[in-house]
Amino acid sequence: MGNDEKDDLKYVCSLIEYISRATKNKVADIVKLLGKKEIGRQLELAEVNHSLSFEQVADEIIEAFGIKEGSFDSVGNCEYKVPSNDLLYS
Query: Is it the case that residue 89 has pLDDT exceeding 60?
Result: no
**Cα(51)–Cα(11) distance, rounded to whole angstroms?**
11
**Domain range enclosing 26:** 3-88
Residue 49, C-beta contacts closer than 8 angstroms, at least 6 positions apart: 11, 15, 42, 57
Amino acid identity for residue 29 in this structure: D
Q: How many residues does the structure list for the chain?
A: 90
Q: What backbone phi and psi angles, to 5 degrees, belong to 8? A: -65, -40
Model pLDDT for residues 5-64, shown as the tens digit of each residue: 899 999 999 999 999 999 999 999 999 999 999 999 999 999 999 899 989 999 999 999
**Amino acid 26: pLDDT:** 95
Q: Give SS3 for 18.
A: helix
**Amino acid 76: pLDDT:** 67
**Amino acid 4: pLDDT:** 86
Number of structural domains the chain divides into: 1
Query: Is it the case that residue 88 has pLDDT exceeding 50?
Result: no
